[in-house]
Amino acid sequence: MYHHIKKLMYTVRVDEPDPRFGNMLLEQFGGANGELAAAMQYSVQGLNCEDAARKDLLMDIGTEELSHLEIVGTLARMHLKPMKFGREHAEADPLIAIAGGGGVNLFNSMGNAWTADYLKITGELDVDLRSNIAAEARAKIVYERLINFCNDVGTKDALQFLMTREITHMKAFTLALESLERPRFSIGRLAPSAKLVDQFFNDSTGTGDHGEADMRGPWNEGNGWEFVEAPAFQTMNGEGDSAVHAESSDTGNPEPIQDLLMQQLRDLLHAEKQLLKALPKMAKAARHETVRRFIESHLEETGAQAERLEGCFKLLGASARAKPCKGMAGLIEEGEEVMMEGKNKDNASADLSLIGAAQRVEHYEIAGYTTAKNLAQQIGKPEIVQLLTKSLGEEENADQLLDQAARSLMSVAKMPGAIK
């Protein structure tokens, strides 16, 4: 919820309007490092953020950036105002004077329109925080340069305020990043290749007439670094790429991994067959039509998933023999207990418990299909990967739909006079 208060965060004063400087100010209004870009970047990151504390940080600073946009826009408008009346001033920027009437618009100082391409949003909190620190640093430098090109005292005061707040935001984002307590170079979930990650390639070489001297520092020596001299030259000289720790995806002997894949497929096949018997009971136990329809729909998907698993065995030249899946047996047993206990609960509570049991099943299957898909990928079985990916996508979608159904039921359960 936003509410506009008719007062600037920092009161601005312009004693001597300068249309050319007003044009420069537009860089911080509609430019790549400007206040609108910052406001949108942090606010959208905040909307995506599942971390309540850091979501609050992002929304606080995103909202403040909107206040900064108002300050910059007011400053720019005051400096551009002479364009409304004087030909000489209008010639400073005909686009602003003629198309915009001497006012501000979402353009940068070169007349290029603002674009969402300016925003850096990945959905990974630590990566986004790093982008925000860099964005604040760039904005600080832009404000510093604007101050250096400004002669109006009131304008310089306002720009000093805005420049200072960029450092404040850098501090907040940096501390938020540090509070995650993640290793400095831990990005995402997949680990980098061992050894290769610590190799520095000296790919810019030559001295004297052939170029500048190679330099060494903490970025390429000490601290576990391995300095690799000109990998390209090694290849040209027939030395090959033995110095580079690049690991091949070739598994050598694929039999052990194929055996593991076979075990996973047999486990999954038995799991799906157990579900084909259990899901009709769950559908019957569901109280709400939406939940019942979903379970019935997933029953059809489960049948197709079992058929895909049988297809995987054919591709491997093996019989579709299931291996008793104790994990799924335990989950189904828990589900039966949930259904029994649900007989004494109100409709919303009974179905919420049922959904919880169903989601445990989905998570178990997601783990199984992910493992099997990765194993098939490792031994170069694209047809099997395709079949497993299809089933994995259905399981992930089922989990999301169950989550949506649960949220809907929770809302109903909270409503006064809700139907029980």
Note the pTM of the prediction, 2 decimals.
0.64
Residue ranges of alpha helices (H) inside 343-381 are: 347-378
149 contacts 24 by C-beta, under 8 angstroms = yes
Q: Does domain 19-179 have CATH number 1.20.1260.10?
A: yes
Residue-wise pLDDT tens digits, 231-248 = 777 655 555 555 776 665
Same topology, domains 19-179 and 255-414? Answer is yes
- The mean per-residue pLDDT over the stretch 330-337 comes to 94
CATH class of this structure's domain 255-414: mainly alpha
SS3 of the chain: helix, strand, coil, percent, to 5: 65, 0, 30
Residue 35 annotated among the catalytic residues of the structure: yes
Asked if 65 is an active-site residue, the reply is yes
Question: pLDDT tens digits for 100-134?
Answer: 677 788 888 888 899 999 999 999 999 999 999 99
27, 64, 89, 169: which is the annotated catalytic residue? 169
Q: Shortest CA distance to 174 belongs to which of 221, 133, 213, 141?
A: 133
Element (H, E) at 199: strand 199-202
Catalytic residue among 27, 64, 68, 70: 68
Average pLDDT, integer, range 211-237 = 81
The reply to whether 169 belongs to the active site is: yes
pLDDT higher than threshold 60 for residue 167:
yes
Say how far apart CA 158 and CA 347 lie, in whole Å: 60
The pLDDT value given to residue 191: 82
Q: How does pLDDT run across 78-90, given as a tens digit for each residue? A: 998 887 777 777 7
Higher pLDDT, 80 or 179: 179
Looking at residue 420, its pLDDT comes to 45
- Contact between 29 and 69 under an 8 Å Cβ cutoff? The reply is yes
User: What is the per-residue pLDDT across 337-375, written as a single tens digit (0 to 9) for each?
Assistant: 999 999 999 999 999 999 999 999 999 999 999 999 999
Check if 181 is active-site.
no
pLDDT over 70 percentage in the chain: 91
Other beta carbons within 10 angstroms of residue 172's beta carbon come to 18
- List the domain boundaries for the chain: 19-179, 255-414
Percent of the chain with pLDDT over 90: 67
How far apart are alpha carbons 34 and 104 in whole angstroms?
14
Catalytic residue selected from 64, 70, 166, 394: 166
Query: Can 166 be counted among the known catalytic residues?
Result: yes
Options 27, 35, 362, 394, the catalytic residue = 35
Q: Provide the mean pLDDT of the chain.
A: 89
Is position 363 annotated as part of the catalytic site? Answer: no
pLDDT in tens, 246-269: 665 555 577 889 999 999 999 999
Helices (H), 149-220: 153-179
Q: In this model, does residue 419 exceed pLDDT 50?
A: no
- One of 136, 272, 394, 395 is an active-site residue; which one? 136
User: Which amino acid, 3?
Assistant: H
Instruction: Single out the catalytic residue among 64, 65, 272, 395.
Output: 65
Between the alpha carbon of residue 239 and those of residues 229, 230, 282, the distances in Å are 12, 11, 65
Give the pLDDT score at 410: 85
